Structure 1
Amino acid sequence: MAKVDCLTTGGPVAVVTGVVTETDVDGFRNRRVGVSVRDDGRRDRLGYSWITKGDHQELPPCMSAAPFEKVKAGTGDFRVLPWKLEYPTE
């Protein structure tokens, strides 16, 4: 579980960042992480920030690695919904 501070989408890709609050991996507790998802309708992909070196506490909101890893067949099935910003007409 994480305290999310950003969730954004663009086309079939979503990025979420936050601080991990509950986990069974002690090394991630209270760390800032980012996860990306690509919903291709067949076999989704994931990306995550902790593959890079450095201080994860410095990861800015809304940042993660590009979705590079395929999920196991029959799992994942993420659904990215578009986020549309309403622009002023005047």
Structure 2
Amino acid sequence: MRQRALVIVELTPMTLGLMVLQIDYRHLRESPALVAYTMFLMGLFSLIVVVVVVVVVVVVVVVVVVVVVVVIVVVVVVRVELVLIRKLVEREV
């Protein structure tokens, strides 16, 4: 009966490759191609996680910047309108 080693050190992208594949640890020692393939998959998982995190951070930063710019523009427009209304009222009186 073949034993499979489910390698769980911690839940990180590097160990996720081994967890998903459930590779028998003896085959890892016997086959350099399998080691290379496993390392490739672990690197791919790491890259995917990094790309997702970077995209989420960029989207959050862009949303915050847009909200701040919109608030600043609204405040400036309201102040200018108030100044114009005061000038009109002063002319009328």
Q: Greater CA radius of gyration, 1 or 2?
A: 2
The structure where strand makes up a greater share of residues is 1
Whether TM exceeds 0.5 here: the answer is no
The structure where helix makes up a greater share of residues is 2
TM-score after normalising by structure 1:
0.19
TM-score after normalising by structure 2:
0.19
The structure with higher relative contact order (CA 8 Å, sep 6+) is 1
